[in-house]
Structure 1
């Protein structure tokens, strides 16, 4: 191989690696790449949290121990993306039948300013009686979003007092012990999601 050919090959490999890293970042929805532990090889996603459910009750990650958690971060004023993903989650759980009893679907707001427990209560009822809506203080939301590597930010309109939220759109599947199992990219079909969830349930 010529010198130019070797250089081209090295550059090509480097670009491929860079592209792979970039895709990994996009999958998590933030500029931080999820790290892997040297001992277990499992992604560092999730962790302790203290939030408030749609009934005004304080809950933590321990509240849902023993169940798989299917978690989505969004906001109730979201015009299309959030309703679509929550609809896919609901449809996926409907497809796995009795196994769905072992799964707790959870919707965590990234807009606690507007998404009070009352607002969350009205919203989650639109999708499934199983769906739990969680909110909290801005600090609590920031902590749990960071633990899941979820990107979000307020997008204000200079011509209006209203605002929307930019955010990553990922569905997370967590195990009964709270450990990360799988993430579903945006627009993952319900049947594919259902197949993956069912494969993790004994």
Structure 2
């Protein structure tokens, strides 16, 4: 039932975002989703906020390091987008926010994202910090009951999608996690062209 709700929620957000503009196949969320804003923890005891990404186009994704399928696939796609961008990748940042703050320490999370892209940033925080950011972007997640005797043996059900913010932190596009590398790259390039 919960997985059905997650699928419904993702579909509702995408539908609510409206019809995509002709310039890209991504869902235009300009004016529908809030600006980039958070206070979370990065590796090395560093606190990061949206101010750390000013001037960069941000591809934001919610997931967790122990995710068996969706998260590694999406991270691989985003890293491929960075390769496709070539020199322009310097103006783009992958930000991965964990919805599993119990297991994903900042250092574990950073090691995970760097396995896909050496410049990606992994962020986590307290339960409240993570819940606040997830709520802000309408991301639903639920930690499942542990299986077996190991309390750390569990999965986290979470809604999926890649949020793309422009260099001033405005929400611009929402992509399904199944979106092609070509479409994602075209959308990011559109924003880079607009910022000049």
TM-score of the pair, normalised by structure 2: 0.81
The answer on whether the counterparts of 2:57 and 2:165 sit within 8 Å (CA) in structure 1 is yes
Shift of 1:48: 2.4
Per-residue CA deviations over 1:127-163 (Å, capped at 9, x if unaligned) read: 0111000011110001111111111111114655321
Give 4+ residue runs of structure 1 displaced > 2 Å after superposition: 23-30, 44-48, 157-162
2:131 aligned to 129, 142, 145, which one?
142
Q: What's the CA shift string for 1:8-64, capped at 9, x where partnerless? A: xxxxxxxxxxxxxxx98433669xx679xxxxx711234421101123200111111
In 2, Cα distance between equivalents of 1:85 and 1:28: 20
- The 2-side partners of 1:29 and 1:123 are apart by 28
- 1:200 equivalent in alignment to 2:184: no
- Which of 1 and 2 has greater Rg? 1
* Unpaired segments ≥5 residues, structure 2: 1-6, 19-29
Alignment correspondent of 2:180: 189
Of 185-194 and 152-161, deviating more is 152-161
Higher relative contact order (CA 8 A, sep 6+): 2
The number of residues matched between the two structures is 174
Superposed displacement of residue 121, structure 1: 2.3
Q: Within 5 Å, which residues of 2 pair with 1:26-105?
A: 26-27=10-11, 42-105=31-94
Question: Is 2:145 the partner of 1:156?
Answer: yes
**Residue 19 (structure 1) aligns with:** none
* Cross-structure match for 1:14: none
